[in-house]
Structure 1
Amino acid sequence: MPKPRKSAFAHLRAKCRITLAVAAFGILLAGCAETQLAVHGVKRLGGQSQQPAQIGNYKIGNPYEIAGQWYYPAVDYEYTETGIASWYGPKFHGKKTANGEIFDQYEVSAAHRTLPLPSIVRVTNLENGKSIKVRVNDRGPFAHGRIIDMSRRAAQLLGFERKGTAKVLVEVVEAESRQIAAIAQGKAAPQVTSAEQSTVTAAPRDVVETVRLDDGPITDAGEPTTSSIKLTPPSSSASVQSAPLDGVVEEAAVVEVAPVASSSIYVQAGAFSIYDNALNLRNRLYDLAPSKIESIDVKGTTFYRVRLGPLETVPEADILLERVIATGQNGAKVVVECADGGSATSVC
């Protein structure tokens, strides 16, 4: 007996069922991707701790010489310095950093001449009060008059990408520097925060692997970020690890803003423990610019600093610095000094 033929309506109805099933499966996968992106967004925007994309080799390094200037890398958890920051980007994008990472100008990182790699520092823009924590993973800058080189992304967050330079305060964050150093040496593993654990536990059971979230350049027009996501089939053996690991990783790039006192730029020609030596240097540099001798106590020892200025702009400071170095003062540097009477609650 021949089978009855299905009507055109029956065929159409079956086809619709298949289409709806495929669409529903697509929505489920999309839901998984959106959940993973939401977790990432919480970590980025909400200030939760997250593991850096890279943690290279731990490195201090031997003393080295660049253009006649010697630098002495060392562990210094009391490090704090004011000066001029610059930024670097396209020319070095995709190249190796001094500790073996791959430099990404769209990630928050920085280069320093002597701090251990990696280290965590807080950099404050003394012109607008913005500050962020930054992972130092490279050596530099080696231009006279600069104390730190920020990635392009970090410069954008601090508000000086277009200007190119900024007066900054750089301070080591001791606890996080010790922790990231331990992770880089394999002595500790990155920690999963309680917020991340609860979020991941509540997520769909399908396995979602985020390959990369590329922030891309930040523009005034506020271009949206783009992402690349890879979905893998669910596995019956897949499980969510909820137990925290030892160690802590770098904090997400959260910009903080605090009041800043007015500040001026000086060239520090030298610092001496004997006042007469400072006086002799000031007399030798007398014709270059107005100068002064300031005393400062460092761990019980009084030093006398010879400073020339104040100077209005970074280019003026660069010119004067080169003139001072030409007199034989290879250790001369550009510093930022807060005006007298600054607010007790302000930075600097």
Structure 2
Amino acid sequence: MFVAACSSAPQKTAPSGRYPDDGELPKGDQGVKRKVGTPYKVAGVWYHPKEDPGYDEVGIASWYGQDFHGKKTANGEYFNMNALTAAHKTLPLPTFVKVTNLDNNRSIILRVNDRGPFVPGRIIDISRRGAQLLGFDKQGTTRVRVQAVDEHGKPEKSSPRPQSVSTETIVTESLSDALPQAPVASTNDPVVISNETHYIQIGAYSQRANAEQQAERLLKFGHRALVEQTRNSNGTFWRVRVGPFVERLIAQQRLDRIVADGFYEARILSESVK
């Protein structure tokens, strides 16, 4: 199925790329131009996209699915949870990668067309179908090796750089008004239902009108947010939050999508269930 681009003024919220078939490794231009991307900041952390044909890294992979099915990716394609695609923080869009599950030695080729995951310690976020083929869809995360390749699975360099373990090169900024962020559980821990609920907080505003305007922006991207009044020693504020989520993994997956939609200061906050 092909979707024609609108001939009138472009709509920022409308994906322009082709919707890939189930089980497909999307190839070609998919209706969008290849791009490296400019530096961007998420929750106080700077990421620097770049050409990296010798990319070869070991780290933790996660996967995303139903909540983002049919929505646009960072380069304007459609996300199909049943196609063979992935999200990465800095590789050009698109880039083909060979992903090997180091727990069972399964390997597949994926097309990187999205940004994320913005969770410490994770290097790639994979479509649900990709996670099924790699054999970790039931556990949520796994340890993988990710290598840049062409669409046929061949390394883009004859002598790739040595394999490295993920040590994200990031630049942080100290923000006096930064919101507190709950600690992230070990990526090797199983997903369990705890006595906490989790919210994605987009921001806190001194004017209610500003908070409601932000909530309206979120709704245009399909994220329904709450505007709640809160007080502290600095005064009265209105916070904009999405949730609650019982499982932190689901909150993390939604956070990736919210950030990809341009809300770069969003972060997860956890609260004890009373």
Report the TM-score when normalising by structure 2: 0.47
Bigger proportion of residues as helix: 1
Larger radius of gyration: 1
Bigger proportion of residues as strand: 2
